[in-house]
Amino acid sequence: MSDLSNYRKTYDKAELLENTIPEDPINLFHKWFHEVEDFGGVEEVNAMTVSTFGLDGFPKNRVVLLKKFNEEGFIFYTNYTSEKGKAILNNPHICLSFFWHSIERQVIIKGIAEKTTENISDNYFASRPKGSQLGALVSNQSEVIPNREYLEEKLKTLEHQFENKEVPRPNFWGGFLVRPVEIEFWQGRPNRLHDRIRYQLKENYIWKIDRLAP
């Protein structure tokens, strides 16, 4: 058994105080996101963990890429018939989380997911590289396949089929918009006395702000 008890780290790069935060958590997320970009040390700042309740009753986490955020919420794209897609359509209460180790920050978002409009999904799909577009057609995501060659042969067939042609977005592929109901911001601090600020959405779209014990 590997003993990891001696893994230690001191958190001392920043602080999160009530007198410096906005009333709207999306504004704080925007500020943090771009501060992490500017600070560096994170290859994909928009990488996030999506947690769902599967059809088998088990929770499951996986990393995807955030593609847009605004006052409505957070958007990512996936195959709607995948394990992830089916889980979200069955139970849209999901959790998103970001861990930006270089600046010792986490953001945890509880929200309710819904499909984006077809227009939004079409526009994003059209912006993708052709290889990624074909990849969406190639992969019956989460289904059992015989081997790697199965995918590569299917890709070759589609490359020939769509040579010099636009690739249409398949109706089983598109975006999810996650509308947040709670957002927690976590800033690492010395002696494990981390800063945790929680925003909870109340009536009339007012955000209640609380500090949580670390």
Per-residue 3-state assignment (H helix, E strand, C coil) for the chain: CCCCCCCCCCCCCCCCCHHHCCCCHHHHHHHHHHHHHHHCCCCCCCEEEEEEECCCCCEEEEEEECCEECCCCEEEEEECCCHHHHHHHHCCEEEEEEEEHHHCEEEEEEEEEEECCHHHHHHHHHHCCHHHHHHHHHCCCCCCCCCHHHHHHHHHHHHHHCCCCCCCCCCCEEEEEEEEEEEEEEECCHHHCCEEEEEEECHHHCEEEEECCC
Tokens, residue 39: 């600070």
Determine the Cα–Cα distance for residues 53 and 59; give it in Å rounded to an integer: 4
First and final C-alpha spacing in the chain: 29
CA angle 194, 23, 65 (to 5 degrees): 65
Residues 52 and 60: beta-carbon distance below 8 Å: yes
Residues 88 and 52: beta-carbon distance below 8 Å: yes
Residue 45 falls within a domain, yes or no? yes
pLDDT band at 202 (very low <50, low <70, confident <90, very high): very high
Residue-wise pLDDT tens digits, 126-171: 999 999 999 999 988 888 899 999 999 999 999 999 999 999 999 9
Residue 100 falls within a domain, yes or no? yes
For the chain, the residue count is: 214
Residue 129 falls within a domain, yes or no? no
Residue 85 falls within a domain, yes or no? yes
pLDDT band at 55 (very low <50, low <70, confident <90, very high): very high
Residue 12 falls within a domain, yes or no? no
Q: Residue 80 belongs to a domain with what CATH number? A: 2.30.110.10
Range of the domain at 182: 18-121+177-211
Task: Domain count for the chain, please give it.
Answer: 1
Tokens, residue 19: 């007198």
pLDDT, mean over the chain: 96
Residue 21 CB neighbour total at 10 angstroms: 16
Residue-wise pLDDT tens digits, 66-118: 999 999 999 999 999 999 999 999 999 999 999 999 999 999 999 999 999 99
Residue 27 falls within a domain, yes or no? yes
pLDDT higher than threshold 90 for residue 2: no
Determine the Cα–Cα distance for residues 89 and 93; give it in Å rounded to an integer: 9
pTM for this structure? 0.94
Residue 88 falls within a domain, yes or no? yes
List the catalytic residues: 192
Residue 148 falls within a domain, yes or no? no
